[in-house]
Chain A
Amino acid sequence: MPRGLVPVVVFAIVGLLLAQTGSEVPEGFDIGLTDWMQDRYKWTVLNDDHWMFTRFFHPIGDALGSTYDFVLWVLRALRWPGVLAAAAAIGARTGGWKAAVAGSMLLFGCGVIADWDNTMITLALMIVAVVVSLLIGLPLGIWSARNVQVESILRSVLDTAQVMPVYVYLMPIVVFFGIQAPAVIVATVIFAVPPAVRITNLGLRSVPVVTEEVGRSFGSTRGQLLRKVQLPMARPTILLGLNQVIMMAFGVVVIAALVGSGGLGQDVLTGLQKIDVGKSFAPGLALVFAAIALDRISTGQRTVSVRRRFSMPTWWERPRVALTVLFGAVIGVGVAATLLGADTFPESFTVDISQSVSDAAKWVTDHLATGVPVVGGTKSISDFFLLNFLNPMQEAFIDAAWWVVVLVIAAIGWASGGWRLGVLCGGCFVAIASLGIAADRESVWDKAMITLAQVLVVVAVSVVIALPLGLAAGRSDRLNRFLRPVLDTAQALPQFAYIVPVLFLFPPGRTPGIFASIIYAVPPCIRLTSLGLREVPVGPREAATSFGATPRQEMMRVQIPLALRSVMLGINQTVLMALSMVIIAALVGAGGLGLEAVFGLTKKQVGRGLTGGLAIVLLAIVLDRVTQAWGRDRQRSAADRHR
């Protein structure tokens, strides 16, 4: 039998078998996971004196809780001037006066536009979460850099963890840690540890072999090698990792507020759930400020030259003296503030922007929703988009017999990455089908199809926008210079920051979620595309030109083929980012699996939440593996051709 026929025959047989079940997912498929997990949850509630809780989860939770309480107590005891002074002191130490000013001014801004005490609650959560993430992530990263086996185990764990959107973790965490601060910290830590491990490992492994040999040849012990050679050389990379850890942590705040963390995240969430732009805007902005402040004062990067230009007094060069002086100054400010009675952030400084933001939003809705010349207005765009793109796609997915969808997915998997991937994709979708009925009598399958349609639309639109921009930015230095700060900022903002502005423009429902996801997903795709083009070595390009290739030929035949891997990685990132927005989109009415997760979290329907989360993970695995396979496959065939 010719090789090409094998897939056809296999698919025909499997298709015939599955077709016997009818076009809807048969009832017998329901494995009853939702109820089973709900029962398990009840068991944990009733049996919280089980040794698993008293010996393991409760101690961890208590330790995190009391650390958090302590940090919050310190922040409150310092009073607001003391906190600002502390931010300035740390910033000055790590990155010079620029970081000091940026850190304290941004925190001050939080107090001006949002509630100071809520800012402190969020800050305390984040500080504890980031420190714990580093305490776990750095040693793991070091260990995996020194041990190939550990690396390969950790890598597969981290790869899976990275595909999973954060809300998937929340549900089991609530089961084990309850609600309140410890659960939020654990969720944040789980989300922020992977980049810490990954980047520490990467940084250590990218230390050139020769410097390690130098260390060994002069008689370093393993410890000396790590302390004196590897860690210092990996420092820039690890600092970059710290930046990512902080951003990741702040990205989780709003979602984590679903389990009741309090703080700014809670304020944003309340606003979002009421679709009140004004209410969610100010705390959202304050969160962004706080994130950037923490980032600036902790990493202190990009300031080396500054430090050289402005000479510091001599005591500054002596760490112990400088630290003592700064510590004393911070305490002094705190004590002075307490004595002067500056207990709360002065009301005369605060500006309530929620009303004006609401007014602005109302104005936009009144004036831009319909009847704008040419474009027609935001509501018209939204309706057009829904009617012409999303609805047909969604209906097509739901109306199609379920086994057809499974077969198509399996076929795509097979074509992308061989029969193993085909089986994995088909298997994941069959598993989704077996998850049964969601709460509102719709099947989980139908919800998954709604989410799948939305994610695919987001990815398609994002790629259509991002690829040309990325290609152009890869070719034109001027465009690249213009885009880079925009992309840098976009990357530094947490997810929720995208949804609030979109709410200005579009009526609640599926559109704002989708547009926010697109805005969120486009930057990494542009960045990776242009990076890919720019990383193509000069040699082959020069060679092509010297053989008389036109710029166009050179781009089509040399640059783009060589950059394909990076471009495909960009598409893969787009998919992951679109998936990670599913729950935030659900908060403003996107429906689908995200809604299941939100419902499960807010209404303590743990079974439903876990089922919804599991379905999202299965979707994520399929989409991630398929898009990853595209990048790999191209690479391999290119390598084969070279041989």
Chain B
Amino acid sequence: MTTGIAVDGLWKVFGPKGERLVGSPDADRPRRELEADTGCVVAMRDIRFAVSPGEVFVVMGLSGSGKSTLVRCLTRLIEPTAGTISIGDIDVTAADTDALLELRRHRVSMVFQHFGLLPHRTLVDNVGFGLELRGVDKSERRQAAERVLELVGLGGMGQSKPDQLSGGQQQRVGLARALATDPDVMLFDEPFSALDPLIRRDMQDEVCRLHADVGKTMVFITHDLAEALRLGDRIAIMRDGRFVQVGTPEEVVGSPADDYVRNFVRDVPRSHVISVGAIMAPHSPGDYVTTVVSTTKVRDVVGHVASSDLPVQVVDESGVPVGSVDRLAVLEVIAGDDIHEIRAAASS
């Protein structure tokens, strides 16, 4: 069974009597000023979003933007100050201690930035940790742990201790531990930011593969835009405790909501993200060098428009022509911000 998440009006204010700041104009004052006056820090303000079952929802932001607080509030590792969270049919914010334990033991699991492996346990016992808390007996949870370790590529290493592994391998264990409880929802708190770039890529592939295999709902926190674009079905950009934009990678890169987001996505190779469907001109009959579906990324038609003066025809999933893309449109995407100069140069 897969499960969605719905979050509405979620606030977190650290500090004494934080609840009085919720929804008040004070909450919009600059952070430093507010902290000096009230001793409070508003970490999250009025967050609302919904994640559909099986979706990968990425929250991206710089350090201090509140993204780690957000993911911890989802299972109430940190108590939210106001708002509601529901995961599947469970109202998390209203849950009592037992219901919360039930939720954490069966429905949701988490992968941590610094792995958080227990150094005194073997890999098998680390991976079986969640099952152990649940009360599963020893032999059964060992079997389950071995199976999951196999899945993340660490088969046969079950009797090692965490300190015998490299960083990448340790996080595979972290991943296995989160998978072992067979949760509906997996939460990732910057899981790969402590890893080398190449290993990070491997691990991202691993997550993509796992998502394809097991189809869990995932909430993924990161400060790395490339990671967000690679993994996310949708991305939320977070700044100073609020979402400034929520959208598909294409929407975020193609039409940034404000200067902050624009600055962020400036260096992204836009042709890798934007699909031809987003830039096509209306369909008109004529000669085409080739035909592609509208979800094709722009970079995949570069070769065609470079080898021929003719445009590329765009069709929808059922093969019906819906538009066309010419060389100039492709160049516009590649050149990004300097688009007006290109137009001027082309028309002169």
Contact = CB atoms under 8 A, between A and B. Distances in A.
Interface of A: 208, 210-211, 213-214, 216-221, 224, 228-229, 232-233, 235
Given A213-B77, A228-B132, A218 B104 contact: yes
A364 to B, nearest CB: 52
Interface string B110-124: 101111111111000
A311 to B, nearest CB: 14
Interface of B: 72, 75, 77, 100-106, 108-110, 112-121, 129-130, 132-134, 177, 181, 187
A211 B134 CA distance: 18
Nearest to A211: B116
Contacts of B108: 217
B116 A233 contact: no
A217 B133 contact: no
A224 B133 contact: yes
Given A217-B75, A217-B104, A228 B133 contact: yes
B270 to A, nearest CB: 37
13 contacts: A213-B116, A214-B116, A214-B118, A216-B104, A217-B109, A217-B112, A218-B105, A219-B100, A219-B104, A219-B105, A219-B106, A224-B133, A233-B119
Nearest to A213: B77
Nearest to B97: A221
Contact of B118 (A219, A224, A233): A233
Contacts of B112: 210, 213-214, 217
B118 A221 contact: no
Contacts, number: 62
A219 B119 contact: no
Nearest to B131: A218
Contacts of A208: 114, 116
A216 B101 CA distance: 9
Contacts of B119: 233
A219 B134 contact: yes
Contacts of B134: 219
A345 B15 CA distance: 68
B118 A232 contact: yes
Nearest to B108: A217
A221 B97 CA distance: 9
A405 B308 CA distance: 101
A233 B100 CA distance: 25
A218 B109 contact: yes
A245 to B, nearest CB: 22
B77 A217 contact: yes
Contacts of B106: 219
B136 to A, nearest CB: 12
Contact of A216 (B77, B117, B177): B77
Contacts of A232: 118, 120-121
A224 B120 CA distance: 15
B154 to A, nearest CB: 18
A210 B114 contact: yes
A439 B72 CA distance: 68
Contacts of A220: 133
Q: Which 3 A-B pairs have the closest CB atoms?
A: A219-B104, A219-B105, A214-B116
Given A217-B77, A220-B133, A224-B133, A211 B118 contact: yes
Nearest to A216: B77
A218 B116 contact: no
A217 B114 contact: no
Nearest to A222: B97
A182 B21 CA distance: 59
Given A211-B116, A221-B101, A233-B118, 20 more contacts: A208-B114, A208-B116, A210-B113, A210-B114, A210-B115, A211-B118, A213-B116, A214-B116, A214-B129, A216-B77, A217-B108, A218-B105, A218-B110, A218-B130, A218-B181, A219-B100, A219-B102, A219-B104, A219-B106, A232-B120
A228 B118 CA distance: 9
Nearest to A236: B120
Contact of A219 (B113, B117, B130, B177): B130
A216 B106 CA distance: 13
Contacts of B114: 208, 210
A94 B75 CA distance: 40
A187 B14 CA distance: 46
Given A210-B114, A214-B112, A219 B120 contact: no
Nearest to B98: A221
Contacts of A235: 120
> Which of B108, B110, B120, B187 counts the most A-chain CB atoms under 10 A from its CB?
B120
B77 A229 contact: no
B180 to A, nearest CB: 10
Contacts of B117: 211
Contacts of B102: 219
Residue in B102, B103, B118, B121 whose Cβ sees the most chain A Cβ within 10 Å: B118
Nearest to A232: B120
A221 B134 CA distance: 10
A210 B177 CA distance: 15
Contacts of A229: 118
A213 B71 CA distance: 12
Nearest to B134: A219
Contacts of B181: 218
Contacts of B121: 232
A235 B121 CA distance: 13
A228 B125 CA distance: 11
Contacts of B105: 218-219
Interface centre among A211, A213, A214, A220 (most CB of B within 10 A): A214
A602 to B, nearest CB: 49
Nearest to B110: A217
A176 B161 CA distance: 52
Contacts of A217: 75, 77, 104, 108-110, 112, 187
Contacts of A216: 77, 104
Which of A211, A213, A219 has the most C-beta atoms of chain B within 10 angstroms of its own C-beta? A219
Contacts of A210: 112-116
A221 B100 CA distance: 10
B117 to A, nearest CB: 8
Contacts of B132: 228
B133 A219 contact: yes
B130 A233 contact: no
A218 B77 CA distance: 10
A371 B134 CA distance: 80
A136 B104 CA distance: 34
Contacts of A219: 100-106, 130, 133-134
